[in-house]
């Protein structure tokens, strides 16, 4: 099958950990790679954000990344990219007329907007993954939401216009049905984890005592400040924060400065360690060094880090929001706590740190769950099934239209 993926701001080649570099980049790259392993041809179309980038890159995994000229060839915050989507779509349509595909899979709402007219023009089934929903973001961020003001309206329109939606968790399905997406037009296919790279055995990063670890972009909604407040109620442990700017830029980063002020107020400055951006290659060793991995955002469309921690055999304490409620089984692979509740978070951390057997039990159960349910090969298989149904339905529609025309002319 020939598959075109559209990921307008999240290039699979990008460095993870920046303001707009995170789970979607990992998802698109890993899904493309796994689909190639299943003998599909995959091209990922992403916006050119550097004038020196080549037109195409053939990755070592076998999929192709094509850089689309849409807007200035430089880094642009994703929330300002909407005006460039018609240009993106026009380029994509021209390319697919020359290089036809069997299915088009758009990632994120702006990719969907660029892809809808293309899918109509070249008559190809369109599958869409939102990765995050504007309604959820606005609910939690309010006036601090920097999305375009018409994002919610445009996402509702996408629910009417795309052929099928792949949701990454059951909570997202509930949100989509509120947006009037029919239940038979959505399938749940979660994000995945590279179980060959993330595993319990292997190098372990150096540590100095009981370690709590939080990994992710340094944005307020990730709840790092809640973890710092909880640390004040967890004696002796250190909190390691991985993500954000490069290590050499930590001292000039405004979010790091804010979090350091929080640590100072709560008297835990000496027990909070900011690593800055950590490479994907170094991440498994860092995860293995933790006694407990935290994922405590206010909201989270899915969250790949808990899966990576589980695949490394580490217990997870996560907020019971979004996809985290699917991946972390409370009382079995870790603990779920309410968001923005440092006291409840501290209670769970103290219980786990005091009980090595419980940590081991949760870690082993998480490993089994990650390998059985969330390998990228399984995610690719399930995505492939959605694609095949969409292609079959499109073929049936074409045949039905042809039959109707023949019947009318007879």
DSSP state letters, 131-179: SS-HHHHHHHHGGG--S-TTHHHHHHHHHHHSSEEEESSHHHHHHHHHT
pLDDT confidence of residue 385: 97
In the block, which residue shows the tokens 């529609």? 397
With a CB cutoff of 8 Å and minimum separation 6, the contacts of 52 are none
Distance from C-alpha of 369 to C-alpha of 308, rounded to nearest angstrom: 11
Both structure tokens of 322: 């979004």
- Per-residue model confidence (pLDDT) at position 16: 52
28 in Cβ contact with 19 (< 8 Å):
no
Residues contacting residue 143 through CB under 8 Å, at least 6 positions apart: none
Beta strand pairing status for 272-276 and 103-107? unpaired
Q: What is the DSSP letter of 212?
A: E
Strands (E), 333-394: 334-337
> Distance between CA 335 and CA 317 in Å, rounded?
5
Question: Largest Cα–Cα distance in the chain?
Answer: 85
Is the CA virtual torsion 138, 326, 197, 222 positive or negative?
positive
CA angle 111, 118, 385 (to 5 degrees): 70
Let me know if the fold of 2-192+376-404 is the same as that of 211-373: yes
The contacts of residue 207 (CB under 8 Å, 6+ apart) are 238, 289
Q: Residue 403: what pLDDT?
A: 40
Domain range list for the chain: 2-192+376-404, 211-373
Per-residue pLDDT of the chain (410 residues; tens, 9 = 90+): 999 999 999 999 986 544 445 689 989 999 999 999 999 999 999 999 999 999 999 999 999 999 999 999 999 999 999 999 999 999 999 999 999 999 999 999 999 999 999 999 999 999 999 999 999 989 888 888 889 999 999 999 999 999 999 999 999 999 999 999 999 999 999 999 999 999 999 999 999 899 999 999 898 889 999 999 999 999 999 999 999 999 999 999 999 999 999 999 999 999 999 999 999 899 999 999 999 999 999 988 788 999 999 999 999 999 999 899 999 999 999 999 999 999 999 999 999 999 999 999 999 999 999 999 999 999 999 999 999 999 999 875 544 443 443 444 44
Residue 323 · residue 158 · CB < 8 Å: no
**CB-side neighbour CA atoms (13 Å) of 153:** 3
Compute the distance between CA of residue 317 and CA of residue 175 in angstroms, rounded to an integer: 24
Burial 250-285 (b: 16+ CB within 10 A, else e): beebebbeebbebbeebebeebbebbbbbeeeebbe
∠ at Cα 297 (294, 142), nearest 5°? 170
Q: Any idea of the CA torsion for 167, 172, 177, 180, to the nearest 10 degrees?
A: -70
Q: Given this model, what pLDDT does residue 396 score?
A: 58
CATH fold for the domain made of 2-192+376-404: Rossmann fold (3.40.50)
Structure confidence at residue 305 (pLDDT)? 93
For residue 52, count other CB atoms closer than 10 A to its CB: 6
CA distance 5 to 126: 10
- The CA distances from residue 94 to 88, 90, 131, 329, in Å, are 10, 6, 26, 46
Q: Residue 395 in 3-state DSSP?
A: helix
| CATH T-level assignment (fold) for domain 211-373 | Rossmann fold (3.40.50)
| Distance, C-alpha 119 to centroid of its chain | 24
> Do 47 and 84 form a contact (C-beta atoms < 8 A)?
yes
Contact 349, 317 (CB under 8 A): yes
Distance CA 310, CA 327 (A): 9
């Amino acid at each position: 099958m020939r598959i075109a993926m559209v990921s307008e701001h999240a290039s699979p080649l990008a460095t993870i950990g920046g303001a707009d570099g995170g789970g979607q980049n990992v998802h698109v790259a890993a899904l493309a790679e796994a689909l190639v392993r299943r003998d599909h041809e995959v091209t990922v179309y992403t916006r050119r954000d550097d004038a020196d980038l080549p037109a195409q890159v053939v990755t070592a995994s076998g999929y192709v990344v094509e850089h689309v000229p849409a807007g200035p060839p430089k880094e642009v915050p994703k929330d300002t990219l909407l005006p460039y989507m018609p240009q993106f779509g026009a380029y994509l349509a021209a390319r697919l007329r020359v290089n036809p595909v069997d299915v088009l899979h758009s990632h994120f709402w702006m990719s969907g907007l660029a892809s809808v007219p293309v899918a109509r023009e070249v008559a190809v089934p369109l599958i869409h993954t939102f990765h995050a929903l504007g309604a959820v973001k606005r609910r939690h961020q309010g006036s601090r939401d920097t999305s375009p003001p018409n994002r919610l309206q445009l996402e509702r329109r996408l629910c009417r216009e795309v052929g099928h939606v792949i949701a990454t968790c059951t909570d997202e399905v509930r949100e989509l049905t509120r947006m009037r997406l029919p239940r038979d037009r959505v399938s749940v296919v979660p994000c995945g984890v590279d179980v060959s790279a993330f595993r319990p055995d292997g190098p372990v990063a150096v540590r100095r005592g009981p370690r709590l670890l939080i990994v992710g972009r340094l944005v307020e909604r990730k709840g790092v400040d809640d973890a710092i407040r909880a640390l004040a109620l967890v004696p002796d442990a250190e909190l390691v924060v991985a993500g954000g700017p490069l290590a050499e830029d930590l001292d000039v980063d405004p979010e790091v400065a804010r979090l350091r002020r929080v640590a100072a107020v709560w008297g835990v400055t000496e027990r909070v360690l900011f690593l800055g951006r950590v490479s994907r290659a170094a991440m498994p060793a860092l995860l293995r060094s933790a006694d407990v991995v935290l994922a405590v955002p206010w909201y989270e469309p899915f969250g790949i880090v808990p899966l990576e921690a589980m695949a490394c055999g580490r217990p997870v304490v996560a907020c019971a929001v979004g996809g985290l409620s699917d991946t972390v089984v409370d009382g079995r692979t870790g603990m779920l706590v309410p968001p923005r509740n440092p006291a409840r978070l501290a209670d769970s951390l103290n219980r786990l740190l005091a009980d090595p057997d419980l940590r081991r039990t949760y870690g082993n159960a998480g490993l089994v769950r990650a390998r059985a349910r969330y390998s990228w090969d399984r995610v690719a298989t399930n995505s492939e099934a959605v694609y095949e149904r969409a292609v079959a339905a499109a073929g049936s529609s074409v045949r039905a239209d042809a039959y109707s025309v023949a019947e009318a002319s007879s």
